[in-house]
Amino acid sequence: MKKLYTLALFLISLSVLSQVPTTMNYQGVARYANGNPIIGTIGVKVTIHQTSPGGTPVLTEQYSPITNQFGIFEIKIGTN
């Protein structure tokens, strides 16, 4: 019975230590209309709306990531 209580206490303590992440990773590819990659600094604006695409914006952030030779960029949403 003591082992059962110890196991239950351990499992409860794990749930207390867990945290909700505050950022979200996003990776994308920037390309021109002809399909060639955009190389260099680009502008990215992220807007998250409540309930639907036309809903109230709850988060709006702007980034200036630098793409690699393939046009790939990465941002962390929630840091600005």
Global confidence as pTM: 0.69
Stretch 3-13: mean pLDDT, rounded?
71
- φ, ψ at 35 (rounded to 5°): 100, -10
Name 50's bridge partners: none
Q: What percent of the chain has pLDDT over 70?
A: 84
pLDDT band at 4 (very low <50, low <70, confident <90, very high): confident
- SS3 of 19, please? coil
